[in-house]
Chains A and B, each alone.
Chain A
Amino acid sequence: MVDGTVAGDPPASAGTSGERETTAPTAIPYLLLAPSLLLLGLLFGTALVLLLALSLSPGAIPVQPGSSVRFLGNYVRFLADTYYLGQLAVTLEIGLLVTAACALLGYPVAYSLAKAPPGRRRLMMAIIVTPLLTDPIIRAYGWVVILGNEGPLNRLLLRTGLVDAPVKLMYNWLGVVIGLVHFLLPFMILSIASVLQKLDVALEEASLNLGHTRFGTFRRVLLPLSLPGVMAGSTIVFTLCISAFVTPQILGGGAIQMLPNLIYQQIVELYDLNFGSAMALILLVVAMGGLLGFQAIARRLWAEGQPS
């Protein structure tokens, strides 16, 4: 009896509550957001203010003490130095390279994931997500074993006679890129797949029916429609990549010093919180810039992709 009424009720009540929400806006969404906003504001905001305050005090190596740039000494030390600007460029280059590689490698996987029947899709998902479940240090050391001079990959290359001497696969930028792509690829695949899954199959079929080749269909129909996914994935991959620390440290073998590694050096090794904070804020601004840049590109491409 009781069960019966409950089971019968939901559709009707859901409909009425939906109408009520649209007619009379309530504070509920804001109330629901409040805890997370408060938490973010307190934790993130306080940390940012502290970071900013620290960065304005002179560090271990002050720039021209007593000059007009007294408060900005740490920023001047970074921005007026080709070495630090160079390391910033290296960080961004690796970020872009990894993002591009993830997009190229991730798209086909995302496509087959979206097209797979539910059973196989679940299996594929599990395989794709696995790298994320491993500790980054263990993951990086796994690559150290594989990519080493006497590792299985080089041994295979030597035995097949493709190379005469071991190929340098790590302790350089290549090792860092391989490690980061492995780490970040799942984010790209899942972002793209989530968009591709929602696309109407009829659009693809219509395009093929109306005379486009498979490639034309991909270029003119699928790609423009799935661009938001690519861009969302790129945003995640790029920001995680330029703030990556463990992978470049281990697979770069010290040869690749990305900005996070230099920040670690200043803060943990040298305890120069002031210069370290300034570098962290510079990285933050650059990451935000990158994010906005990606979004601008996405919006333009999206607009171009729309049928006129």
Chain B
Amino acid sequence: MSRKGIACISISVSCLLLVALLAGGALLVRPAAAQQSFAGQTLVITDWGGPWGESLRRNVAAPFEKKYGVTVKFDVGKSYENLAKVRAQRHNPQIDILFVDYGASQWAAQEGLTVPLSNYAASIPNLADVYPQAVAPGQAFVATRVSAQGIMYNEQKIKKPVDSWAALWDKDFEGHVGVTGIQWGTGKMVTTAAFLMGGNEKSPDLGFNKLKELRKIKIFESASQVAQLFQQGEVWIAPQLGPAAYALQKSGMPIRFVLPKEGAFGMFDNMSIVKGGKEQLAALFINFALDPAVQVEHAKDLTVGPTNRKAVLPPDLQQKVPAGEQIGRLYLQDDRYANSQLPAWTERWNREVVPMITK
């Protein structure tokens, strides 16, 4: 009995010593140990799939997996679909990072589904170098990349120069014009139309009145859907995100992408830390995605703008993507306001714009 007791004590003591040693070691080489502790874990991040997902996998997720010994899984869907998943998993989160558009990110923060980045400030030092436009109020979430939304057109079918959103209303292209659905970028199509009437998202009446002038339009909900419509020859001209347009161009389609004079939209893709998920690991991933070198590689691959001001792009790429000063020149819609108006806009959209598909 007493011998057993001694054995027990000596084992516990040696265990304690070992723990103390490890802890001491960890203190000495803290970053390395911090990396070690995540090995074998799986981080789940939402994503849009397509060229976005492939590029995020190659340039961000894969090197992150290598560095931390973890597995990164993608949960693919549109922004609002992925928001719906996080909502449904509120009590048992399966997703660690919500990577979606501004509108969905804001809903998630508002409903307390995510935690502010400031909770993990020490793990996200790169946040200090991010353009202020890319950080949400209260550090609720941060954009890791920015795309410009301009006009994509088929240069074989359209020979006239295109430099204005008004081209979507050009009667010569009637029957071959695509417009984004009401959900896309939280009502960006309404704002686009309002631009042409001298307004913006705060004057939706102007937008809807202009939209009602459209005839025989195609309405699409995703970048992949409009790419398909271009390939089928159904659509010649449509609003599109830079990365999607350049991906289609790379595939050999006769595509041109222009930033209209009334203003191209800056579309931020935002990462939030899901509450109750692997919050610490999620914070490390976000920091990794904000790293200047990682952002440059991702930007080159996807033709997308970085959000870290230390990420310097090669000159040829600077022409194509919003970077540096250009971010300031992009039109940033008040998505917070647009979010609050979306139910009413959807109601009007269903009645006033959807019938124009067949008119």
Give A contacts to B, CB under 8 Å.
Answer: 60-61, 83, 144, 148-151, 171-172, 253-255, 257, 262, 265, 268-272
Contact segment of B3-11, B79-87, B204-212: B79-87
Closest to B83 in A: A271
Tell whether B76 is near chain A: CB-to-CB under 8 Å. Answer: no
Contact bitstring B215-259, A, C-beta under 8 A = 1, else 0: 000111100000010001110000000000000000000000000
In whole angstroms, how far apart are the Cα atoms of A150 and B230 in the complex?
11
The size of the chain B interface, using a CB distance under 8 A, is: 26
Whether the Cβ atoms of B219 and A254 lie closer than 8 Å is yes
Which residues from B are CB-within-8-Å of A149?
Answer: 232-234
Complex interface: chain A residues within 8 A of B84 (CB): 268, 271
**8 Å CB contacts to A: which residues of B80-102?**
80-81, 83-84, 87
- In the assembled complex, B350 has its CB within 8 A of some CB on chain A: yes
B253 vs chain A, min Cβ distance (A): 13
Residues of A within 8 Å of B350, CB to CB, are 83, 257, 262, 265
Nearest-CB distance from B41 to chain A (Å)? 30
A265 to B346, Cβ gap below 8 A?
Answer: yes
Chain A residues within an 8 Å CB radius of B346: 265, 269-270
Stretch of B57-65, B193-201, B351-359 that contacts chain A: B351-359
Q: How far is the CB of B263 from chain A (nearest CB, A)?
A: 26
Q: Mark B325-359, 1 if CB is under 8 A from A, else 0.
A: 00000000000000000111011001100100110
Are B358 and A255 in contact, CB atoms less than 8 angstroms apart? yes
B contact residues around A270 at 8 Å (CB): 342-343, 346
Note all chain A residues with C-beta closer than 8 A to B347: 61
Q: B181 contacts the other chain (Cβ, under 8 Å)?
A: yes
Interface pair A83/B80, CB less than 8 Å apart = no
Q: Are B234 and A148 in contact (CB under 8 A)?
A: yes
Contact between B344 and A61, CB atoms less than 8 A apart: yes
CA distance in complex: A112, B144 (Å):
62
Determine whether the beta carbon of A150 is less than 8 Å from that of B343.
no
From A253, A262, A272, B357 is in contact (CB under 8 Å) with A253
Given the interface pairs A149-B233, A265-B346, the reply to whether A171 lies near B218 with Cβ below 8 Å is yes
A-B residue pairs in contact (CB < 8 Å), sample of 7: A61-B343, A148-B232, A150-B233, A254-B219, A255-B354, A268-B80, A271-B83
Of the candidates A61, A172, A269, the one whose C-beta lies within 8 Å of that of B358 is: A172
- B192 at interface (Cβ–Cβ under 8 A)? no
Bound Cα distance from A268 to B77, whole angstroms: 12
Scan residues 305-327 of chain B and give those whose CB is less than 8 A from a CB of chain A: none
- Contact present for B354 and A271 (CB under 8 Å): no
Q: Which residues of A contact B87 (CB under 8 A)?
A: 271
Chain A residues within 8 Å of B221, by CB: 254
Known contacts: A172-B358, A257-B350. The answer to whether A271 contacts B107 by CB under 8 A is yes
Contact A268 B81 (CB under 8 A): yes
Q: Which residues of B contact A271 (CB under 8 A)?
A: 80, 83-84, 87, 107
Separation in Å of the B134 CB from the closest CB of chain A? 25
Question: With the chains together, A142 CA to B180 CA distance in Å?
Answer: 23
CB atoms of B80 and A253 under 8 A apart: no
Could you say which residues of chain A place their CB within 8 Å of the CB of B303? none
Q: Closest B-chain residue to A273, C-beta based?
A: B87
